[in-house]
Structures are given as structure tokens and as C-alpha cells.
Structure 1
């Protein structure tokens, strides 16, 4: 796992550092790190001894920052419980706690819980063979080949499959972001993740479709509370379909992902779009050339324009000035000032229903054009 090593001493203790810590542990989960590798990586990250103990396992795993087994403990560790099955992880830091130790412990425990459960059950979330995923989700394969791909991926042909499309706006690996996002929930269903183009395809056979969507919403809300919203994760959810029709769910998920907006509406379920899907049938070139879309692009290119457009997007999606401010982690007076600037720049009056509808439609068209 050498390529994943990060040290907190190399980054500032600010929101950006917190985002990098979260991404660090998400990547370890996505790469199916062994528990021993996870403990070593945590020790290297924190710059102190890290440990992990699970009930039923006689000796704990303890490693120093250099990756070697640690000597006897010389300090009272800060710890976090793993929950069920019982166990805990800890950091043995001499002196005052580091500014991100609580976050490191939280992510360490979460990763240990997921990887430990997968190790015990043999049901790890993992990066799938891209060729099998492309065959299953592609256009050309026949029914026999799709059935074989399902079988090789460990998915039951007789049970419904649901496909997610996960994209990012910060250049981060969408496959790692997808696994990290799903790892935040409780028990994981059997899933496969593969990067297809610029988004990750996640194949699921959940026992409860509603629970999966609810868990994703909670995980994305956690990201916002961690101020990781700038990381820009977008999720589209396709319908539950027979396994041999997984491509249909994939196309729906990709379409839904084009409508998603990080922080404001990061997850979009295809079945909830209704007639809005008709907008996705408009050619991208026509969307890009529409006057209102061009006006938004012009505004976004100004020094403060991107923040103005983000405020407009939040307001149109939430329908409330205060809710928009909450979504953007801004004071409502700041959001109000930005909306006033949008009105002056574009000639819209957002207290008028017709102009609000026009703004929402233009924003949707711009999003679809950007992801065409």
C-alpha cells in the first residue's frame, strides 16, 4: 500500500486536510487493504503507533509509523469502538492529541469495520473486472454472454439488480469515491465497482431498495457535515431490473447522475425525475447554445460568478433562501446578496414564479450540457 501513504505532518490542519484524510481511508477500502495494511497506513498517517483489536483474535495488531511492529505501549491510547462484532482501534500518541486525531480514529474504525467484515464473510466490496462490467452494461453482448458475466461477478440471475452511477467534480477516482461512500452505511450488500469512462458503475443486489437509497442519502449528508461537499460526489440511481437487463438500469443511472448537484441535490433517483428526462433528449449542442445557458456561462466566468450561480442553483433546488444557505454552509444574507447579483446580471426576478421556473430550467439545461 506504499502508493497510498499520506502523513498529516505534510498537510495543513484545515478543511482540505480533513478531505484528504477521508479520501485516504476511502482509497484503502476501495483497494481491499488487509487489516494489517490498514493499521500500518493509519500509523504512517498519524505519525504515532496505531492499533486494532477484535474479540476472538488473541493478539492485537500494533504498528509504528515506520511500518514495523510496535514495542510496548508507553501512553494511554485514544480509542474508538468498532461496534458489532466487538473490537476497537486506537492511536498511541505521546503528548497532546493531533488536530485531526478524532477524524482519523473515526475513519480508521469505519475502514476496519468494513474490511474486517469483508475478510470474515468473504464478501468484500471490490473493483470488478472492467471487461465483465462493460460486457454486462454494454450494448453488443447477447443474453448468454450477459448471463455468464452475471455469474462470474457473483450476481444471482434470478434477483433484481440496481446500478448506480457515481461521478466526482474534484478529479478524484470515482471508483474509490463510490466504495468509500457505500462503506459509510451499515451492512453492505454484495456489490461490484468499476470505472466506466468518467463515472463509476456500481452493481448491487440489495435486499431492500429503499434502504440503499436512504443509506446513500445519509452518507452524502455526512459528507456535507464533514464539509467534504467540495469534493463534489454525484450519484445517479437506476431502477431495480432483472439481472439480464442491467444495461437499462445503467443508462438510467447515468442520466440521473447528470441531474445531480453536489451539496444541494447530490443523489438523484431516475424514477423520481418523471418528465424531466425529456430534457436529456435535447441535443447537447442545442442546450449549450441556448441564450439563458449562455448567460449563465458568461456570469459563471466572472470573478464571483461561479459562487453566484451556485447560490442560484441551491435556491432553485431547495425552494428556500434559508435552506439554500444551509446547503452551501453560508449565512442567508450572503446567499441573498448573491441572488440579487444574479437578478441584476440576468434580468430575472426570482420572486416571480415564471422567472424561477426559467432559472431552474436553464440550470438543468446547463448541467446536462456540461455532462453531455
Structure 2
């Protein structure tokens, strides 16, 4: 952590400040259960404004930035996050929100929910990007990769998986990845760093090799229900999960994670996290050159449809129907009336020349949809 902060300080003062926020809460979580008084008092001092916490049983804790306890209810809340199953955390900043208030609130909420139950698994850690890149490299000597693993606090003899994370343009995917993985409470050692335009998460389970895809989907759903100042924090986030490999082959899992990421779809809850193991033979589509995919008649038809008025909704209806196999379930997933979805699918059938009720044609349509997404870089 210290090495990463020094690197960031020389590159981007804002990035270093944000990492210090994360390091603060990771330190609180490292000792297990987090006392509500300690959490709120330290957050108020970090934010330099009053902070508060309401627990599920109705108890309320408030502190000023100088560490003095505040009585009663807050007069002005500048930002808040609801806790699950009940409660909330908030800041009481006068005037405009601070640049890191959303980050502070999210980590305060994580500490309140996770630390309040007593933490039995380690918190994900932001890592030195140079060490993570070394672990992921297939060109470096195994001895050098093993040394990097040890410096990261990972075991060179235990299998690991790599998770690739892509976020909104302008956002730091590394910070988004650390926050999301913190919600998962994975029984694993997790190290995260920004690598190019993506974040790479090294996930080394303490026992077993289960994929973190399921917990990641649950964490994405949880975040989607929490509206923070400035909008949805999970919007634009996509994840790809690589296979379980020996640490010396981490580069192979990283390659698989990036392939899986190409199948993940922004804004579609069921498809925001793609698992390479679950893709199976579908992953082979990623090896086909984009130009060849675009030349396939079904893909061309989808491309033409996407450019028409309402084309995006028609493709969303196709994806939902292929995923569920049911008109009503597709309509429920899209929050539309089933007759509207039926009309959209009728237009898709006309464009493709296939009958979606026919299992073979539906399979062809689903493959064409995957190929179209891959060919457009989505």
C-alpha cells in the first residue's frame, strides 16, 4: 500500500487522496468488528464535517469533525447511503459535496455492514500496479513472478483467479473494483490494481476454487439499489472472471478474464458479470476477427436493426428472450408489457428471417447477438 501511495502521489494528487480514503477504512476493517463510535468519529475527522450512523435497531451515532459527539437528529444531510437490511450512514457537509464524499460514504457503509457483523475474511487491498503487472506477465521469469506474488502477500502454491473490471470513462476502475470486491466478503486474499484502462483483481481463495462471479453479481445488485450523490455508482461497470490457475499461469487467467469481459453488457443486470468458465465454447467466438464477424448475414442484420429508431430496445428484447426463453419473463426483465416485447421480437424475426420460438433459430439468434456485440467492441 505504501509503495502504491508513493507512486500515485507523484502522478495524481486526487488518486492518492482517494487511495488514502480506502486505506483508512481497510485499516478499520483489518481488526474485525468495527465499533460504531470509532467508525463515525474517524469518518467525521477524515471528511472534516459531521458524520452519522443509524443502526438497524434505531440507535443513532453522530460526531463532529473535531471528535465531539453530537446529540439529536441531523439538521442537514449532504449525502447518505442506506444500509442493508436497515439503517444508513450520512455526511452533514455545509455547501457543496466534497470531491470524495461518495467514496467516503460507500466505504463507511461497507465498514458499517461488514465490520458490524465481525469480519472473518480479509478486506481487498489496493496493490502496487508494477507488482500486479509482473504477476500477470507471461514474459518474465517464474522466479520474478513468484517474488512479486510474495510481495503482494499471496501464496505461490495456491490457485488464483483474475478478475478484469471496466468502468465508466473517466472513472478509476481500480477503486471501483476494490469497493465492489469489499462488498463480496470473499474468503480469499484479494489484490487489485489498475492495469492500463482496466482493473485487475487477483483473487486467491483460502480453500476451494469456486468462481467469485456469483458474489460479484450479488454485490452489483446491492449497489444498484443504493443511490449515492451524483447517481448510480454501479452504472457502466462490467466484469470478466478468468479461470482458476496456478499462480505461475496468472497471465492465462488474465487473458480469459479479458475475453469474458467482452461478453459482459453494461446496464443488463444478468450480464454485467461474465464468467469464462460458464461461457464454455462461446468463448471461442472471441477468437474470430471482428471483420469476419461483421460479414456474417445474421450479424449484419442486427447491425442494421441497431441503427434504426427503437433498434436498441429491439435488441434488448431479443437478448432478454434468448436469455429467459419466455416472453413474459423477458417483459418482466425489461419492465415492459409483454405485448410491447412481442411486437419488438416480431420486428427482429422479420429482420433476421428466423422464428424465435424455434429452438434452433433462437440459438442462431443468440449466437448472432454475441457475435454482433464482439464485433462492435461491446
Q: TM-score w.r.t. structure 2 length?
A: 0.70
Contact kept? 1:164, 1:237, Cα under 8 Å: yes
Q: Give how far 1:211 is off.
A: 7.0
* 2:254 alignment partner, one of 245, 250, 255: 250
Flag the 1:187–1:280 CA change in 2: closer, same or farther, 3 A.
closer
Change (3 A) 1:244 1:166: same
Please say if 1:277 is aligned against 2:309. Answer: no
1:95-174 correspondence to structure 2 within 5 Å: 107=106, 110-113=109-112, 123-168=122-167, 172-174=171-173
3-state SS in 2 of match to 1:231? coil
Q: Deviations over 1:81-100 (max 9, x none)?
A: 989xxxx875598xxxxxxx
Q: CA 1:277/1:310 → structure 2, altered by over 3 Å: closer, same or farther?
A: same
Contact residue 91 and residue 105 of structure 1 kept, 8 A: no
State the Cα distance separating 1:109 from its structure 2 match: 5.3
Give 1:238's aligned residue: 242
CA RMSD of aligned residues (A): 4.1
User: Compared with structure 1, are the counterparts of its residues 258 and 346 closer, same or farther at alpha carbon in structure 2 (3 Å cutoff)?
Assistant: same
Secondary structure at the counterpart of residue 239 of structure 1: coil
Whether the 8 Å contact between 1:29 and 1:111 is mirrored in structure 2 is: no
Question: 1:108–1:240: structure 2 CA closer, same or farther, 3 Å change rule?
Answer: closer
Rounded to whole Å, the distance in 1 between the matches of 2:306 and 2:20 is 36
Mapped to 2, the partners of 1:202 and 1:272 lie a distance apart of 19
In 2, the alpha carbon distance for the partners of 1:283 and 1:211 equals 28
The match for 2:22 among 17, 31, 34 is 31
- Measure, in 2, the Cα distance between the counterparts of 1:80 and 1:230: 14
SS for the counterpart of 1:210 is coil
> Structure 1 residue 157: deviation in Å?
0.7
Deviation (angstroms), 1:312: 1.2
CA contact (8 A) 1:89 1:105 kept: no
The residue aligned with 1:291 is: 297
For each residue in 1:47-93, what CA deviation from the matched residue of structure 2 results, as whole angstroms up to 9, or x when unmatched? Answer: xx423599xxxxx7713xxx55566324389999989xxxx875598
Describe the superposition over 1:268-291 as per-residue Cα deviations: whole angstroms up to 9, x where unpaired: 222222222221221122123333
Question: How far has the Cα of 1:155 moved from its partner?
Answer: 0.4
Structure 1: any 5+ residue segments left out of the alignment? 1-26, 55-59, 94-102
SS of structure 2 residue aligned to 1:201: strand
Between the two proteins, the alignment pairs up a number of residues equal to 320
Alpha-carbon distance, 1:32 to partner: 3.0
Distance 1:152 1:28, change over 3 A: closer
Q: Distance in 1 between matches of 2:103 and 2:233?
A: 18
Task: Give the TM-score, by structure 1 length.
Answer: 0.71
2:70 alignment partner in structure 1: 72
Report the more deviating stretch, 103-112 or 146-155. Answer: 103-112
Q: Would the alpha carbon gap of residues 39 and 340 (structure 1) be closer, same or farther in structure 2, given more than 3 Å must change?
A: farther
Report the equivalent of 2:6: none
CA contact (8 A) 2:159 2:209 kept: no
Task: Identify the residue that residue 222 of structure 1 maps to in structure 2.
Answer: 222
Structure 1: how far apart are the matches of 2:69 and 2:172? Answer: 36
Contact 2:164 2:241 in 1 (8 A): yes
Shift of 1:113: 3.7
